[in-house]
Amino acid sequence: MSTSRFLYYLVVSALRGVAPVLGSGSSKLARGFRGRRVAHVTLEEWGLERRDPIRPTVWVHAPSVGEGYQARSVIEALKSLRPDVQVVFTHFSPSAVDLAATMPVDVSAYLPWDLRPTTGPVLDAIAPDLLVFTKTEVWPVLAEEAARRSIPVCLIAATVPERSGRLRGPARSFLRATWSSLASACAVGEADAVRLRSLGVPEGRVLVTGDPGIDSAAQRAQAAAAAADFLAPFHAVPRPTLVAGSTWPSDDEVLLPALRAIAEERPDVRIIIAPHEPTSAHVAALVGRFEAAGRTARTLTQVEARGAEGVDVVVVDRVGVLAHLYSVATFAYVGGGFHTLGLHSVLEPAAVAVPVMFGPDHQNAPAAAGLMECGGGYTVRDAEEVAQRVLMWAATEDDRVYASARALSYIDAHRGAAERTAHTLFDIMTSRLEWTKQPFPKFPPRS
């Protein structure tokens, strides 16, 4: 065992050992530790007690919500090709718990600890015909244990940003064997494909299939609940509306002065701001800051109960509604571009034909670059630029309508990635099923 692998085992084992202590409390970190303590038990029980050994099984892992949506569209496309497939879904972040509960899968859980004593028994119980990672997250021990059992390992929606730590230093060396063991890597774009090859994925196993998150965003846009109770107040009191989604404190420090400047010229512009983590303390603090600035601010719960008449700012105090809220937006701002943790999805507003702004740190988001190139997305560097962009769109309908149309055109032009990715997985699964001589009923060929 290499020194780096030994250190990895040591760190993960230590974290597992202190999980009972770190898992106390209601913080996001604590919830994650609690979930991982029992994840392997949940998955083993499903595999031993409920898995149908006659039907094929695919294990799909996605770290958090954005990757979960990408995985979901691929799972749905795969099930259209192979309706009898059983799907196991795991995630890493506590943010994905609610999404996991709605996934079209047979069982879901946190990802077990990446150690042989946990991953090995889970793999033996589930006996998947395919192990699938999403976007950037490949777990070395799980991948190694799958390879030992001749289970193909794939990466879908694969993205390797230019500044990714995986391209440099210890991470590059440590994961090289894992990258080289992949049966397939379905890259979002050609630049990602080049970087995947440089990391060690064999040339013939890298395919450019696009971003399945675009298909997912389009599906969610079509399914947006226009008649939802929390949207009715906004339809009843129509105003130009900026929806700022998945914002962090770093975004707030740019948005709040921008919104004050907007209010001076266009007090009719309504703001809906959805914090990435809408804790009661953070929601209350935002409401208080807007009220102190002379704006009438309410939570989404209050607006749903009492209406939006006279309300200038709505602070979203729940999760799971942002995609629907974009449907009442005139223009949008997506958070995450003023820190290094990553820009959130710009696809949801684009999918409902809403022009979108975001901060300058968007190198991890190929869709942001695509929207900028086609004229549906814009980067803003400070509060002044946010205010200028909103005021321009509010005053000049032609510019806003053009940007809206270009945003939607980007979505329409890049649909189909989920189906292309699913076909790749289907072919690999088919080959393994034929090799292991499992029953394989005939289904319609790909169109």
Residue 1's pLDDT is 62
CA distance 235 to 242: 14
Give the tens place of pLDDT for each residue, 207-247: 999 999 999 999 888 876 666 789 999 999 999 999 999 99
> Domain residue spans in the chain?
3-210+416-433, 221-413
pLDDT < 70 positions in the chain: 1, 224-227, 436-447
CA distance 309 to 232: 12
Q: Which tokens hold the place of 317?
A: 């105090």
Q: Is the distance from CB of 189 to CB of 395 less than 8 angstroms?
A: no
Q: Which residues contact 157 (CB under 8 A, 6 or more apart)?
A: 67, 70, 71, 74, 134, 135, 186, 188, 211, 212, 213, 417, 421
Give the tens place of pLDDT for each residue, 57-69: 999 999 999 899 9
Residue 445's pLDDT is 46
Residue 227's pLDDT is 64
Q: Which residues contact 305 (CB under 8 A, 6 or more apart)?
A: none
Q: Which tokens hold the place of 285?
A: 């603090």
CA distance 273 to 275: 6
CA distance 138 to 11: 17
- 3-210+416-433 with 221-413: one CATH topology? yes
Angle at 66 between CA 61 and CA 68, to 5 degrees: 30
User: Closest Cα partner for 334 from 266, 269, 272, 265?
Assistant: 272
* Residue 51: alpha-carbon gap to chain centroid: 28
- 135 sits in the region (left: phi over 0; alpha: psi -120 to 50; else beta) called left
Q: Which tokens hold the place of 348?
A: 């949801």
CATH number of the structural domain 221-413: 3.40.50.2000
Q: Which tokens hold the place of 28?
A: 């996001």
Residue type, 57: T
CA distance 22 to 15: 9
With b meaning 16 or more CB within 10 Å and e meaning fewer, what string describes 345-369? bbbbbbbbbbbbbbbebbbbbbbbb
- Beta bridge mates, 243: 272, 332
Residue 402's pLDDT is 96
Residue 9's pLDDT is 84
Q: Which residue has the tokens 């090995």?
A: 120
* Overall size of the chain counted in residues: 447
Q: Which tokens hold the place of 36?
A: 């991982």
- Beta bridge mates, 393: none
Beta strand residue intervals within 218-307, DSSP E: 241-247, 270-275, 297-299
Angle at 364 between CA 359 and CA 367, to 5 degrees: 80
- Beta bridge mates, 334: 245, 358
Residue 240's pLDDT is 96
CATH number of the structural domain 3-210+416-433: 3.40.50.11720
CA distance 243 to 228: 17
